[in-house]
Each structure stands twice: as C-alpha cells, then as structure tokens.
Amino acid sequence: MRYSFSLATFVAIATALPTLDAQRRAKLFTVELAPGQTKAVTEAGKLALTSQGIGFIDVTDWPQSSRVLANYTYPTELTQGESVQDLIDQLSGTNIRTNLEIFSSFNNRYYQSETGNQSAEWLLAQARSYIPSRSPVTVSIFPHVYRQSSIIATIPGKSAKTIVVGAHQDSINGAAGVNRTTARAPGADDDGSGSMTILEAFRTVLTNSTIANGDASHTIEFHFYAAEEVGLLGSGNIFRSYAEQKRDIAAMLNQDMTGYTAGYKSRNMTPKFGLVTDNTNALLNNFTRRVIKAYTKTEVADTECGYACSDHTSATRAGYPSAFVFEGEMHGPNDNPYVHTANDTIETIDFEHTVEHAKVVVGFVVELAFADL
C-alpha cells in the first residue's frame, strides 16, 4: 500500500526521528543490585555496569518478585549410579568442541543482533536433532519482546515436579563505545562453553530410554537463556512466568562458563570447580557436592559470585532453589581475562574440563529425576 505525504509531513517525520532515538536511549530501566536495592539507569548505564563487572538483574517488568514458597529435601544417598555412569561414559568432548566451533563462529550472540537471533535458531535445531523418534521430548522457544528467544527443552516425567539445568546463550562485547549489535563477541567461554556443555548432557541423557520415553519420576528441563548479559532478562522472564503459574521447580543448576582452566595450569595447579554459595540454596549445594564427588574426578571449592552474577539469581528471586557450579574459584588469578572481548575464543577452552561439568549435569538431573523430593 502506498501513502502520499506532503513535503511538510516529510520534514516533520525527519525532524522527529532523532527525538525518538534519543527517547529510546534515554528510557530508564530499574535494575536490582542487591536484594531490595534498586537503581534507575539508561540502556547505556546497564552496559556500563556490565563493563565494570557489576552484576544486576533488570526488574523493570518484575518489580515485586513473584515467589513460590516450597521446601524440598534432596537425597543424602545417590541411587542411580549405574545409569549415571553409563551416560557419563557417552559424554564427548569432541561433540562439545564441534558444537562450540559453530556457536562461537557467529559474529556475536547479542540479544538484539541478527546473529544473536541466528545462533538461537541454530541451537534450537541442534537440540531438536537429538530427540529420539516417537519420544515425548520437546524443544521450543520462549519468546521475548527483544530479538533473541530463549530455548527450553522439556523431557516430561511422571510428575510435573521439574528439575532445571540452565545456561545463557547470548554474548557481548563489553568494550566502551562499540556497537554491541555488530562488535565481535565469540563468547566461547562466556557462555558458549556452558551452553554446549548442557547441550551435550541433553543429548546424552536422551540415550537413556526410560528418561527419553517420559518414564522418569519427574520432569527435566534444559534452558538456554537469552539476554543474560543485560540484566538476566531471559531467565527472569522465564522464572517470573513459572512463579506466576505456580510451577513446581524442585531444583535449578546453572552452568555459566565451564571451560577456562589456564589460570590454574599457569601456576601448576590442578583445576577445581567453584561451587557458588551466595544467593543459592544450601541444601541443594550439599547435594551437588555429593554428585561432584561421586561422578567426577575434579575437586570442588566454595566460592562467592556476588549478587545477580548469573541466571541462578532469577530462580532464587522467584523462590526456587538453585545451585551454580563455575569453572573455578572466582575473583582471583583463575578468572578468564578474555570475557566480554573479541578474544574469548575456542582456543582458550579446556574441553576435558567441560566434560567434567557435563558429568555434574548428568548426575544432577538423573539422580533428582528419580528421587523422592
């Protein structure tokens, strides 16, 4: 359809465009820097916080946390050893590398960029390719108002009680003054490593016919969150929705960065897991320690992350118990210096360590999927 405008109308539109762009850039968002501590910032202000390494959750559309109040008990004895070990034996660092080569080859996975959308579409297709024939398993998008969708893979069980594993799929170049939608941000470790780790765990878990056929005691979900880097938006949207629906989420395990060990190795130290103890659930952390000890060869050390450092915060804020296993002890010489830069590339990844993380994921979901919670 064509429209006819006068010269005066064209001038008025042209004059208004800069004002509209300025209004967009001046829009204020409410971010939460600590429980109950909020601040109004512009989009540029959010990016500045990210660049400074300050964690926050964007609560503009979630000002009052919708909390589900439920208590869960977790096994003190692990009962699925044979099944878990069979699955662990099938985990492949080669598969993780192959998928990460593709995932980190997108120019960036920024939540508002075309390649952020394309990478999500690739991830959706790849996860769907692992579903066995005639299985009730589904992989679907969770749409947002922004360009990139989150992705949820659901393995139904006999009950609606759900075990969640999550990782964020987006990446960002945090350099000052760059165009985030076009700047190179391969995000191989942050958080391509975590996303591809749980993708491999998803593939492997589906080789267990009992689980793949929907006969586990509880439901399992694998989440790939959009827009983590700008205030945990994707996971916040999902867990807010779950809380409002009163979804029964018994446990959430976060995997944000699983592949950088050079900090340890440069000092002739053996890499460890970092188990995040702040803004997580103490009982679930104890269970996670049992899984790590039983099913991996990696030691674990307690570490603190700071408020809103990753997507487990969204689960916690909604009232759901969460745990977070990081690639190492935080805030020291073990930290990956390349995050949020063009140098966060696949060459920095220790794929043996990503497989160790995948073992944790498999043990966590299989044990809990059959547990009395």
Token reading at 123: 């991830």
Is residue 323 assigned to a domain?
A: yes
- Nearby residues of 116 by Cβ (< 8 Å), 6 or more positions away: 106, 108, 109, 110, 147, 148, 170, 226
b/e per residue 134-147 (b: at least 16 CB within 10 A) = ebebebeebebebb
> So what's the pLDDT on residue 9?
41
**Domain encompassing residue 321:** 66-369
Is residue 70 assigned to a domain?
A: yes
Is residue 28 assigned to a domain?
A: no
Q: Could you tell me which residues are beta bridge partners of residue 166?
A: 223, 254
d(CA 26, CA 66) in angstroms, rounded, equals 28
pLDDT tens across the length of the chain (373 residues): 433 334 444 344 344 434 434 445 578 999 999 888 999 999 888 888 887 888 899 999 888 776 777 789 999 999 999 999 999 999 999 999 999 999 999 999 999 999 999 999 999 999 999 999 999 999 999 999 999 999 999 999 999 999 999 999 999 999 988 999 999 999 999 999 999 999 999 999 999 999 999 999 999 999 999 999 999 999 999 999 999 999 999 999 999 999 999 999 999 999 999 999 999 999 999 999 999 999 999 999 999 999 999 999 999 999 999 999 999 999 999 999 999 999 999 999 999 999 999 999 999 999 999 999 9
> So what's the pLDDT on residue 365?
98
Is residue 56 assigned to a domain?
A: no
> So what's the pLDDT on residue 16?
44
The answer to whether the CB of 253 falls within 8 A of the CB of 322 is yes
Query: pTM of the entire structure?
Result: 0.92
Evaluate the CA torsion angle 109, 111, 116, 122 in order and state its sign. positive
Is residue 30 assigned to a domain?
A: no
d(CA 158, CA 324) in angstroms, rounded, equals 26
Is residue 9 assigned to a domain?
A: no
d(CA 199, CA 98) in angstroms, rounded, equals 12
Say how many domains are in the chain: 1
Is residue 361 assigned to a domain?
A: yes
- Nearby residues of 187 by Cβ (< 8 Å), 6 or more positions away: 104, 108, 109, 170, 171, 172, 344
Q: What CATH number is given to the structural domain containing 308?
A: 3.40.630.10
Token reading at 320: 């759901």
> So what's the pLDDT on residue 161?
97
Is residue 18 assigned to a domain?
A: no
